Homo-oligomer: A and B are copies of this chain.
Amino acid sequence: MKPINVGLLGIGTVGSGTWEVLRRNADEIQRRAGRAIRISRVADKALARARTIVKGKAKVSADAHEVTRAKDVDIVVELIGGTGVARELVLDAIAHGKHVVTANKALLAHHGNEIFAAAQKKGVMVAFEAAVGGGIPIIKAVREGLSANRIEWIAGIINGTSNFILSEMRDKGLDFGEVLAEAKRLGYAEADPSFDVEGVDAAHKLTILSALAFGIPMQFKKAYTEGITKLTRADITYAEELGYRIKLLGITKINSKGIELRVHPTLVPARRLIANVEGVMNAILVKGDAVGATLYYGAGAGSLPTASAVVADLVDVTRLITADPGHRVPHLAFQPDQLSDIRVLPIGEVETSYYFRLRVLDRPGVLADITRILAQGSISIDAMVQKEPAGEKQVDIVLLTHRALEKNVDAALKKIEKLRTVLGKVTRIRLEELL
């Protein structure tokens, strides 16, 4: 059979990895796919750099539309990133009957519904294994491997930069700012790290996982997003003493009221496998009603790991390229006319457990006031530790709660912060047992 021709948009980190994997594993890939897969066209503004990589073995152009509209291109791989040009080019490729492979989580989280509808209408595939968890085949696991299950929840470490920072803060007893500087030096954090450390990147990925798990459209705007910038060494240490680790988790759950969609630092029991995922690695826990808890671990970013997912998508698309669209796995796991309109819950309606840290005056009756307010808000206490004196007549109190409604917690903390004996804001970190 004649080779599949791929048009590559963007030959930066992941693009050059894709070029490299297709080149060095060409034989292995052809033996699996049944035909050769080759990049025949590349578009990149950095023409000279692109030419150095492809060494005359593909047509290089600065005009991406030459690729999206080329008659001799079967599949367009979008590795430009962002939601502007990338959206326009992906839609253009689809309009010209090309199948699309993309690693662009921001694009899908924001414009996935529009893109999948266009692809559906045109009868082409849009594959996106590389958009979540880098080289970990998590999209395939959720969409196909666990198709027998009602998914109950997903909780994942899906941002390597944040996990690296949290691992280093704990290991070396450093503060957020110190580790961030180190991460930038090592190339684990971008010059502007806000997408990573503020949880936005994780929320993009979680939005995709949630849609696949529960058969709902992409609803990034409804995701609750909280980053790791305010975490202190003290909280990491206190959590540790109580048997927990703090991880930035993306969590999506379904219950009788709706779907939770939230990214935030989370206390996780230290003995859980996912609590022991260190450095830039990613891991995703998926709980299904039949299979129970399953976990998927690997490199969540990087040139070759991400290329591994891009090329796996190319093999899948190649295999089904001449098949009737009915034989393909639906983009969002469920048939497009079978999506559900279950609502995404605002964070106030989420029920979880909590870690609170308060600084109080070391005076009789303080604790009675606090516990009374919590009880009034139906928040029951699971554990309490009074820490060493924090200053003259001041003391830190750490509380763990049982499951409570977030809006009740908001109200209670507001009241507690008004107590004259409570100094400053209460630190609140959510806690999940993940069972």
* CB of A297 closer than 8 Å to a CB of B: yes
* Chain B residue with Cβ nearest A18: B148
Given contacts A129-B145, A327-B322, contact A25 B289 (CB under 8 A): yes
- Flag whether A221 is at the interface (Cβ < 8 A): no
Segment with Cβ contacts to B, from A192-200, A238-246, A261-269, A329-337 = A329-337
CB distance from A127 to the nearest CB of B (A): 12
Please indicate the chain B residues that have their CB under 8 angstroms from the CB of A377 in the complex: none
Select the residue from A129, A296, A335 with max chain B CB neighbours within 10 A. Answer: A296
**Chain A: interface residue total (CB-CB under 8 A):** 66
Q: List chain B residues, Cβ under 8 A from A145.
A: 129, 137, 140-141, 312
| Stretch from A153-161, A183-191, A299-307 that touches the partner | A299-307
Per the bound structure, the CA–CA distance linking A307 and B319 in Å amounts to 27
Question: Complex: how many Å from CA A195 to CA B88?
Answer: 58
B31 touches A334 (CB 8 A): yes
Partner of A294, one of B289, B298, B315: B298
* A188 to B228 alpha-carbon distance, docked (Å): 42
Tell yes or no: A338 within 8 A of B by CB: yes
Question: In this assembly, does A410 line the interface, its C-beta being within 8 Å of a C-beta of chain B?
Answer: no
A338 and B31 contact, Cβ closer than 8 Å, known pairs A148-B21, A307-B148, A312-B146: yes
Which residues of chain B are near A32, meaning CB under 8 Å? 147, 330, 333-335, 338
Q: Is A291 an interface residue (CB 8 A)?
A: yes
The residue from B22, B276, B308, B316 contacting A146, defined by CB atoms under 8 A apart: B308
Within 8 A of B (CB), among A295-354: 295-299, 304-305, 307-312, 314-316, 319-320, 322-324, 326-330, 333-335, 338
A133-150 residues with Cβ-Cβ distance < 8 A to B are 134-137, 140-141, 144-150
Across-interface contacts of A140 in B (CB, < 8 A): 137, 140-141, 144-145
Choose one: B29, B312, B323; the contact of A327 (CB below 8 Å).
B323
- Tell me if A308 and B288 are in contact (CB < 8 A): yes
Q: In angstroms, how far is the closest chain B Cβ from the Cβ of A379?
A: 33
Contacting pair A298 B305 (CB below 8 A): no
A22 to B292, CA, bound (A): 16
Additional A-B contact list (16), CB under 8 Å, known A134-B291, A149-B308: A137-B140, A140-B145, A146-B308, A147-B311, A148-B307, A148-B315, A288-B308, A290-B307, A290-B308, A291-B305, A294-B296, A295-B297, A295-B298, A319-B327, A319-B328, A323-B323
CB-defined A-B contacts under 8 Å, sample of 27: A17-B290, A21-B290, A28-B150, A31-B335, A32-B147, A32-B335, A33-B147, A135-B288, A135-B291, A137-B144, A137-B145, A140-B141, A144-B315, A145-B312, A148-B307, A148-B309, A273-B277, A276-B276, A289-B304, A290-B304, A290-B308, A293-B299, A294-B299, A295-B295, A320-B327, A322-B324, A322-B327
A binding-site residues for B, Cβ under 8 Å: 17, 21-22, 24-25, 28-29, 31-34, 129, 134-137, 140-141, 144-150, 215, 273, 276-277, 288-299, 304-305, 307-312, 314-316, 319-320, 322-324, 326-330, 333-335, 338
